[in-house]
Amino acid sequence: MNKGIMESVKDKMVGSIKGTGEVMNAAVDTVSGTLVATIKGTGAVGTALTSTVSDVLRGAIMGTAQVGGDVGAAAKGGVVGVLKGTKEVGAETIETVSVSARTLIKSAAEVGGDIGTVARNTVEGAIAGAKQVGLNVEEAASAAATGAIKGAGEVSQQAVQQARYAVTGVIAGVKVVLKEPFK
């Protein structure tokens, strides 16, 4: 984990939320901006990209929680930001959506966020982001839901139940299909 990136994103989120009071747009802008700068600066791909995405999203959640902001809105904005940022550098993939969801759930659990709300908002963000960058919306929704359940599995069985309940069915007009296994 890169403490520098995570702390930097956390600080940007704190400043932005304190300045505007707006969580979702702060997350979109901070996450996408940081990813673009980092990926262009390091040429991160594959595993390096995955860990960068995780660090950035963890920072966004930590910063939002620090100022008492809406962690669910940060999760939704975070996924949109990941998709916009990775699209800008040609690295957007369905796998990135799954990794994002997994990280967001684990980070939300760390700060006491509502797992069900964060899981649902993560799927909503994946749908909105996929539409913006031209990815398959159903696949993005499925990847986010599956990633959320994987992340919840690293928290507790109760978290898995909350996430599964929150992401099952139709979200933002898209039928969400869970892909097993969740290991």
DSSP symbols for 59-117: HHHHHHHHTT--HHHHHHHHHHHHHHHHHHTT---HHHHHHHHHHHHHHHHHTT--HHH
The pTM (predicted TM-score) of the whole model is 0.92
Res 55 pLDDT > 70: yes
Lowest mean pLDDT among 6-20, 62-76, 80-94, 125-139: 80-94
Residue 183 lies in a domain: no
pLDDT band for position 2 (cuts 50, 70, 90): low
Res 56 pLDDT > 80: yes
Query: d(Cα 102, Cα 167) in Å, to the nearest integer?
Result: 13
Residue 77 lies in a domain: yes
pLDDT at 181: 63
Residue 122 lies in a domain: yes
Residue 44 lies in a domain: yes
pLDDT at 39: 86
Residue 181 lies in a domain: no
Q: Could you report the per-residue pLDDT of 156-174, keeping only the tens digit for each?
A: 999 999 999 999 999 999 9
Residue 182 lies in a domain: no
* Residue 80, domain extent: 3-176
- How many domains does the chain contain in total? 1
| Beta-carbon count within 10 A of 75 CB | 36
Residues 6+ apart with CB under 8 A from 80: 27, 28, 31, 32, 125, 128, 129, 132
Res 54 pLDDT > 90: yes
pLDDT at 148: 97
Residue 18 lies in a domain: yes
Residue 148 lies in a domain: yes
pLDDT at 183: 54
